Amino acid sequence: MKKYLDILIDMEQKIHEGQLASGQKLPSVRNAAKLYGCSVNTITRAYAELEKRHAIYSIAQSGYYIVEKSGNRLGVTESRTIDFASASPDPSVFPYLDFQHCLNKALDTYKYDLFTCGDSKGLETLRHTLVSHLAGDQVFTKAERIVVTSGAQPALEILAKMPFPNGKSVILVEQPSYDNYLRFLEMEGIPVSGIARTMAGIDLRELEEKFRLGGIKFFYTMSRHHCPLGTSYSADVRKTIARLASKYDVYVVEDDYMADLGEEPGSDPIYAYNGTSHVVYLKSFSKIIFPGLRVGAAVLPEKLLQTFHEYKRYADTSQLSQAALEVYIKNGMYERHKRKIRSQYTARLQTLNEAVQRYNDEVILEISEVRTGVYVQFKLPQTVNLERLIERLAAKDIIVVSGKRFYLSNYLKREKFLRISISRAQPEQIEEGIREIIEEARREVKSPS
């Protein structure tokens, strides 16, 4: 199965990147089997899948050919803009035909059930499907402890407002952290405290002190593929956080929204180390499929379930979206698309890292060590005027995001940086964009006034 998926992803990527041109004839099944070092049956299966997805077509007694497509990149490459700001998935890799199939299958399977309001816990069959899906990330749970939400944000808002069994009220957040959640906490007047997280990680002694004395209700963290830093905690740090949570009766809300975008084997979420008693695990599917799907899942400890259900009184997620996602996961399409996205994003990050090494000879930038995911932190000298730098880059059609927005308004120990995202930056644009960013940053360092 793995070999088949690897071959399929490789072929799709070559078609997508133009290495296999429209109208080009593919190698015969026998020659392709030799090329990939696999069986003829594996190649036959891959070709059949590509044909089903309208990527190739066959001619009797002739062979397989790449389908002629005009504008199959949705106009992305025609744009001069280099987008290092957007965190949404690249529309050119969206699995339109696959997901259309899943929507049709969901309609056929569930029919009239899809037009009801549904259960506030989520579609029951999807929750059972998620049990095995989450187990692949070492998140072992029962369907009864899974609640389907319209993305991670609604779950985060409920958790912030509802009382917790520990009777504490302060939410501890990494600094920097997810900007939309920080703004929500501030607007709602919810007690919130920050703790520094940098490229190097987090000060565990300070974390323990806050857990012990800070009246912390829960610690909100992105242990893997942090936004905006892009970094992940080591396994030892995750284990320590899990241990401290149990020791001091502090809950951890683990936002694992990019869990599928690649991780070293054996690098499990905090949830896997806690015995499930003090960790809420959140997962979103928008970074793999598309934001408009608006489906996420919360895995809750037993002690939080009843209160969470009381606060989430109604279904907030489309029944059709849930049913289509269930089909998408069960038939293996999600796993295949995940591998494809992971492969493409990893290649883009490699291009970015190579460009930084090539042009950052005066060490104008410090960058986070990131090989998977979509985000990289470009840390800048304090003398740089960040707003002016962003304006100069925008004048060159390079869009970036300031790190300022990812801090609490009253947090003083801020680093000066750009958050770089590669999810919408096309491979052929990345090197040029990085070169321009470094050149403009160099100008700012040399003439900061």
Strands of 131-179, DSSP E: 146-149, 170-175
184 in Cβ contact with 158 (< 8 Å): no
What integer pLDDT is reported at residue 100 of this predicted model? 79
CA proximity to 83, closest of 401, 346, 371, 358: 401
Mean pLDDT of 257-262: 80
State yes or no: pLDDT of 104 exceeds 80.
yes
How far is Cα 307 from Cα 145, in angstroms, rounded to an integer?
12
Q: Which helix (H) or strand (E) holds 82?
A: strand 82-83
Amino acid identity of residue 114, one-letter, is: L
What is residue 164's DSSP assignment? -
**pLDDT of 9-49, one tens digit each?**
888 888 877 777 766 788 888 888 988 889 989 989 888 88
**pLDDT of 208-259, one tens digit each?**
999 999 999 999 999 999 999 999 999 999 999 999 999 999 999 999 988 8
Among 378-382, 398-402, 438-442, 443-447, whose mean pLDDT is lowest?
443-447
CATH number assigned to the domain covering 336-446: 3.90.1150.10
Fold of 97-331: Aspartate Aminotransferase; domain 2 (3.40.640)
SS3 content of the chain, % helix, strand, coil (to 5): 45, 15, 40
What integer pLDDT is reported at residue 49 of this predicted model? 84
**pLDDT of 17-28, one tens digit each?**
777 776 678 888
What integer pLDDT is reported at residue 342 of this predicted model? 87
Choosing among 1.10.357.10, 3.90.1150.10, 1.10.10.10, 3.90.650.10, the CATH entry for 2-66 is 1.10.10.10
What integer pLDDT is reported at residue 231 of this predicted model? 93
Mean pLDDT of 107-123: 79
Q: Which residues pair with 401 in a beta bridge?
A: 419
**pLDDT of 288-329, one tens digit each?**
776 677 889 999 999 999 999 999 987 777 888 889 899 989
Domain parsing of the chain, residue ranges: 2-66, 97-331, 336-446
Say which residues have a Cβ less than 8 Å from residue 264's Cβ, sequence separation at least 6.
none
What is residue 25's DSSP assignment? B
CA proximity to 329, closest of 126, 159, 136, 45: 126
Calculate the CA dihedral of residues 142, 148, 153, 158 and round it to 10 degrees: -70
Q: Token pair of 203, please?
A: 């000060």
What integer pLDDT is reported at residue 331 of this predicted model? 84
